[in-house]
Amino acid sequence: MKSPLTVLETHPVQYHAPVYRALAKELGVDVTAVYGSDFSVQGYQDKEFGASFAWDTDLLGGMRSHFIGRVSEGGAANYESVTGRGVASAMQTLAPSVVMALGYAHPFDRAVLKSARQQSIPLLFRGETSDHARQRGLIKTLLRDWMLRALYKRCSGLLYVGERSRAHYRRLGVPDSRLFFSPYCVETTTFQSTDEDRTAMRKPTRQRLGIAEDAIVILYSGKLSERKGVDLLPQAVRLLPSAIQRRAHLLFIGDGALRSALEQECQNAPQVSTTFTGFQNQSALSALYHAADLLVLPSRSMETWGLVVNEALMHGLPCVVSQGVGSQPDLVIPGKTGSVSAGDDAHSLARALNEVMDWFGNEGVPGACRSQVAPYIPRRAAEGIFQAMKSLQLKS
């Protein structure tokens, strides 16, 4: 029996599963998710986080799932070791009416694209696409463009996750008739994100973390790595006006290779007040967001979206992001929901932080932040996929 939609990706992803559930439960689409491995369900070692963990959210409920490999049976134990073996046979067995792929660089993704072509299955594509992710030389840019134009011509529908994604597709000749908005999003029910939640959680969380009640808490959430630009934060805080610098407190959620160096750097004179929580699962995040005053994501490169921006705005926090963060045109509106800094520039980051600190405590800011991110929810992402399927005249 044919499955109207089969989604294939390397492993269950916490931000993707709610979209598939919305397709199945709210829109009635017959969805099957095919995964290369179950390592994210079983727990795994993340290279950039430098820690082992398993997500505490439901990655499989509400849809059918099929695993090509399982860790307990000798399957891939991490993202890097997933291969494309078994993809073609899985697609032949499931006989999908339409396939959705989520990338083209990984061997698993390439096997999906190849098998869809060989088996003449209509293909939807919902990948992390942007022309801003990294700097490339002329030859590499031309080769990439040639390859992607050929890929996109084979796709029946392309799902853009934001404005930079849509601009990328348009630049490579994809007509609007084959473009469908399916925004990058986070599951709203995971969080306690209202003003009432903030009132209840803010003070006790600060007390638990040893953060002063009048501190200006600048939150960073993610991997402590060079590409994320996290090492710019202590430099930027030291460049703030002295009155603000004395109250500034850096709250780091996450782990990674730069943690020891960051701890040492923040201890150097003049000392920067900091708290490091280590990796935190989603169920613990709301209290930490409410303890903060703003989020900063100063990525140097390869930040095609930045879902922590969604999470922060949902909690009413304005965001300071670098120009390299893909969600910036969609979510970070200067003077309203945040500010934008140049990449790899501590002085520019300090200016952006200072700008937000001029107005982050204003009464209407939390509402503006939540309003900006409101369309970026699983239901809206699922609707985009559903519309792409309808354009193929496929029945659920």
Please choose, from the candidates 140, 134, 66, 144, the residue with its C-alpha nearest in 3D space to the C-alpha of residue 105: 144
Across the chain, which has 396 residues, the per-10-residue mean pLDDT values are: 83 95 95 96 70 74 94 94 97 95 96 97 93 75 94 97 96 97 93 96 98 98 95 97 96 95 95 95 94 97 90 98 95 97 96 97 96 97 97 64
Please choose, from the candidates 342, 238, 341, 356, the residue with its C-alpha nearest in 3D space to the C-alpha of residue 293: 356
Please choose, from the candidates 372, 279, 274, 354, the residue with its C-alpha nearest in 3D space to the C-alpha of residue 317: 372
Where do the H-state alpha helices sit in the chain? 17-21, 39-42, 87-94, 107-118, 138-154, 163-171, 195-209, 232-238, 242-247, 259-267, 285-291, 307-314, 328-331, 346-357, 365-373, 378-391
Tokens read off for 57: 């959210």
Distance CA 138, CA 144 (A): 10
Q: What is the pLDDT of residue 233?
A: 98
- How many Cβ atoms from other residues are within 10 Å of residue 143's Cβ? 12
Match 């953060």 to its residue by tokens. 211
> Could you tell me whether strands 338-341 and 51-53 are parallel, antiparallel, or unpaired per DSSP bridges?
unpaired
Q: What angle do helix axes 138-154 and 107-118 make, rounded to 10 degrees?
A: 40
Q: What is the pLDDT of residue 47?
A: 64
Tokens read off for 332: 């970070």
In terms of Cβ atoms closer than 10 Å to its own Cβ (0-12, 13-18, 19+), residue 55 is middle
311-332 burial, b at 16+ Cβ within 10 Å, e below that, comes to bbbbbbbbbbbbebbbbbbbbb
Domains and CATH numbers, the chain: 5-185+377-391 (3.40.50.2000), 189-373 (3.40.50.2000)
Where do the H-state alpha helices sit in 155-231? 163-171, 195-209
Q: What is the pLDDT of residue 340?
A: 97
Query: Could you tell me the maximum CA-CA distance found in the chain, to the nearest angstrom?
Result: 68
Distance CA 52, CA 43 (A): 7
Match 């022309």 to its residue by tokens. 131
Q: What is the pLDDT of residue 301?
A: 78
Contacts of 329 (CB under 8 A, 6+ apart): 162, 163, 164
Collapsing DSSP states into helix, strand and coil, what is residue 383? helix
Tokens read off for 266: 């923040």
What amino acid is encoded at 206 in this protein? R
Q: What is the pLDDT of residue 281?
A: 86
Q: What is the pLDDT of residue 206?
A: 98
